[in-house]
């Protein structure tokens, strides 16, 4: 059995982790931040720093570093920036700083404004400016980033599993933090980006629009509401997604213009817009991009042709000759549409409607169904005739004719997280910040938005290992 004798004292292996503070050159101070103990006998499961220990260690470090930083930064504000006079203290206030490595209680000094700066200023101010945000930007970033990819509750579970985030971050906290990121970080970013990008020379872009429905939180008013999602792609192939709730026409129109601005598109940008013929979208398009070439998605038209063709083929069960005649008529109409000959296509379809109506008087089975589909197809094309183009020529020139490239955006933005499988319900008036966060994550621009708002937050290209003492 065991090699160890009965009664032999059990020796512990001990590691003590000390933090050596050197806030001024040569002046050091040590504090023990963790103590790790193990038995001499170790199995595979013992060969490691435990997750709980790592959490304890990082939060102990954070609890030492943050208050020292706040105190020192505050000392620099203790003298008047104008006359140098020492400012009087007006007591302290307490706050909790929430970070990826735990909650840190803070005591922040309030200072009385200097008498030399009379008027215009508040009577007192905090020696350290928390900017009304007690959540560390990096915690907000990580939370929002993963919320775009997984449900709130799952994000809460993951964060509390791996990090010493305290204050029990539950689904509600994660939701609220993400919403604030959308409102306070992403939205102001939209304005900055729009101004920055107008300086860029106008390069042609392709804009694709599509819509999807999400479940409403307020089921007494409506079960679902519509979210419009889209993509802008430029000549160099870079793509930018956007999404907004279809609220009132004015709001949707504003949201659309903003989304375009975000992607660097203004009213003067040469643009081709593809969409599925949704009546409300045309109006929005005309307002935002009055000079754009608008193209009705070929596949939406083709699917309607296919329904009519099926109905026509169905006639074959009764009369093969009539069925063949109807199929031929539809195929000719479709060929004309494909070759940009809308008047000819319309004439063919109108003739087919007329023919079906005449034939239906004879009560032939299936003819009413055909008539219905052809009627619908014709009305659809008439509604969208301004967006009918020479599809064959566009295809030959390698120009887009379908919104297929947008469908992935719709799926990523709406379907993945908001569909009925996940049982998520949204409020049409508050969904926008979440859509904004999600599109920024998918566009890979969320980190930039944080950097713009908090200079120094997650600096680019310096994520190497921390400098280690020799």
Beta carbon of residue 73, minimum distance to Zn ion (angstroms, whole number): 19
Would you say 80 or 158 has its CB closer to Zn ion?
80
Would you say 48 or 85 has its CB closer to Zn ion?
85
CA–CA dist 65, 21 (Å, integer): 9
Could you tell me if 258 and 264 are in contact, meaning their C-beta atoms sit under 8 angstroms apart? no
Beta carbon of residue 87, minimum distance to Zn ion (angstroms, whole number): 8
Percentages (nearest 5) of helix, strand, coil residues in the chain? 45, 20, 35
Beta carbon of residue 119, minimum distance to Zn ion (angstroms, whole number): 13
Q: 215 in helix, strand or coil? A: strand
Beta carbon of residue 124, minimum distance to Zn ion (angstroms, whole number): 14
Beta carbon of residue 84, minimum distance to Zn ion (angstroms, whole number): 7
Q: Which stretch binds Zn ion (CB under 5 A): 77-85, 90-98, 125-133, 155-163?
A: 77-85
The pair of three-digit structure tokens given for residue 381, joined into one six-digit string:
């094309």
Rg, the chain, Cα only:
32
Site size toward Zn ion, by CB under 5 A: 6
With left for phi above 0 and alpha for psi between -120 and 50, is residue 366 left, alpha or beta?
left
CA–CA dist 307, 374 (Å, integer): 9
User: Is residue 116 a contact residue for Zn ion (CB under 5 A)?
Assistant: yes
User: Is residue 121 a contact residue for Zn ion (CB under 5 A)?
Assistant: no
Would you say 111 or 418 has its CB closer to Zn ion?
111
Q: Which stretch binds Zn ion (CB under 5 A): 70-78, 114-122, 151-159, 216-224?
A: 114-122
Would you say 110 or 332 has its CB closer to Zn ion?
110
Would you say 115 or 167 has its CB closer to Zn ion?
115
Would you say 115 or 249 has its CB closer to Zn ion?
115
Beta carbon of residue 69, minimum distance to Zn ion (angstroms, whole number): 25
- Would you say the C-alpha torsion 265, 271, 272, 277 has a positive or negative sign? positive
φ, ψ of residue 386 to 5 degrees: the values are -65, -15
Beta carbon of residue 79, minimum distance to Zn ion (angstroms, whole number): 8
The number of residues making up the chain comes to: 470
Beta carbon of residue 85, minimum distance to Zn ion (angstroms, whole number): 5
Q: 353 in helix, strand or coil? A: helix
User: Is residue 114 a contact residue for Zn ion (CB under 5 A)?
Assistant: yes
- Would you say the C-alpha torsion 55, 61, 62, 64 has a positive or negative sign? positive
Q: Looking only at residues 210 through 239 of this chain, which bind Zn ion when binding is defined by CB under 5 A?
A: none
Q: Tokens 């239906």 appear where?
A: 360
Would you say 116 or 393 has its CB closer to Zn ion?
116
Beta carbon of residue 126, minimum distance to Zn ion (angstroms, whole number): 18
The binding track of 156-175 with respect to Zn ion, each residue x by CB under 5 A or -, is --------------------
Would you say 49 or 78 has its CB closer to Zn ion?
78
Would you say 85 or 286 has its CB closer to Zn ion?
85
The binding track of 35-74 with respect to Zn ion, each residue x by CB under 5 A or -, is ----------------------------------------
Beta carbon of residue 202, minimum distance to Zn ion (angstroms, whole number): 50
The pair of three-digit structure tokens given for residue 415, joined into one six-digit string:
């379907």
Q: Tokens 């593809």 appear where?
A: 274
Other CB atoms within 10 Å distance of the CB of residue 323: 19
Would you say 118 or 248 has its CB closer to Zn ion?
118
User: Is residue 199 a contact residue for Zn ion (CB under 5 A)?
Assistant: no
Beta carbon of residue 92, minimum distance to Zn ion (angstroms, whole number): 22
CA–CA dist 312, 322 (Å, integer): 8
Would you say 126 or 367 has its CB closer to Zn ion?
126
User: Is residue 83 a contact residue for Zn ion (CB under 5 A)?
Assistant: yes
In terms of C-beta distances under 8 Å and separation of at least 24 residues, what long-range contacts does 162-168 make, across chains too?
162/51, 163/55, 163/58, 163/100, 163/101, 164/55, 164/56, 164/58, 164/59, 164/101, 164/102, 165/98, 165/99, 165/100, 165/102, 165/139, 166/59, 166/98, 166/102, 166/103, 167/96, 167/98, 167/103
Q: Tokens 């005649």 appear where?
A: 325
Footprint of Zn ion (CB under 5 A):
80, 82-83, 85, 114, 116
């Amino acid at each position: 059995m065991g090699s160890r004798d009965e009664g032999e004292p059990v020796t512990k292996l001990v590691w003590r982790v000390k933090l050596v503070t050197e806030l001024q050159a040569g002046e050091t101070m040590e504090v023990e931040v963790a103590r790790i103990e193990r038995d001499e006998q170790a199995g595979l499961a013992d060969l490691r720093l435990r997750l709980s220990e790592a959490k304890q260690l990082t939060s102990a470090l954070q609890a030492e570093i943050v208050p020292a930083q706040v105190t020192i930064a505050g000392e620099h504000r203790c003298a008047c920036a104008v006359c140098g006079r020492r400012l009087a203290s007006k007591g302290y206030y307490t706050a909790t700083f929430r970070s990826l490595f735990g909650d840190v209680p803070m005591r922040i000094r309030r200072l009385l404004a200097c008498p030399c700066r009379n008027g215009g200023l508040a009577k007192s101010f905090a020696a350290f400016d928390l900017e009304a945000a007690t959540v560390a930007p990096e915690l907000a970033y990580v939370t929002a980033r993963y919320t775009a990819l997984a449900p709130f509750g799952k994000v809460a579970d993951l964060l509390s599993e791996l990090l010493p985030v305290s204050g029990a971050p539950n689904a509600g906290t994660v939701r609220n933090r993400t919403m604030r990121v959308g409102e306070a970080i992403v939205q102001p970013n939209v304005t900055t980006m729009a101004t920055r990008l107008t300086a860029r020379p106008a390069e042609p872009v392709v804009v694709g629009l599509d819509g999807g429905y999400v479940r409403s939180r307020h089921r007494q008013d409506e079960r679902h509401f519509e979210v419009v999602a889209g993509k802008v792609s430029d000549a160099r192939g870079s793509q930018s997604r956007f999404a907004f709730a279809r609220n009132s026409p004015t709001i949707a129109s504003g949201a659309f213009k903003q989304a375009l601005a975000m992607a660097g598109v203004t009213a003067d940008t040469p643009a081709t817009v593809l969409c599925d013929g949704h009546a409300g979208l045309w109006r929005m398009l005309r307002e935002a991009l009055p000079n754009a070439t608008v193209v009705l998605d070929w596949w939406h038209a083709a699917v309607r042709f296919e329904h009519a063709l099926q109905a026509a083929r169905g006639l074959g069960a009764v009369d093969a000759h009539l069925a063949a005649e109807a199929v031929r008529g539809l195929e000719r109409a479709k060929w004309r549409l494909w070759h940009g000959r809308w008047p000819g296509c319309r004439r063919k379809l109108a003739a087919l409607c007329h023919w079906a109506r005449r034939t239906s008087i004879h009560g032939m089975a299936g003819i009413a169904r055909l008539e219905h589909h052809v009627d619908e197809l014709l009305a659809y094309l008439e509604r969208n005739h301004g967006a009918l183009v020479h599809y064959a020529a566009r295809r030959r020139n390698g120009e887009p004719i379908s919104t297929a490239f947008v469908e992935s955006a719709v799926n990523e933005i709406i379907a993945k997280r908001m569909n009925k499988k996940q049982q998520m319900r949204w409020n049409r008036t508050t969904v926008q910040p979440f859509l904004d966060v999600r599109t920024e994550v998918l566009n890979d621009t969320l980190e930039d938005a944080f950097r713009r708002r908090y200079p120094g937050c997650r600096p680019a290209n310096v994520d190497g290992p921390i400098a280690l003492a020799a």
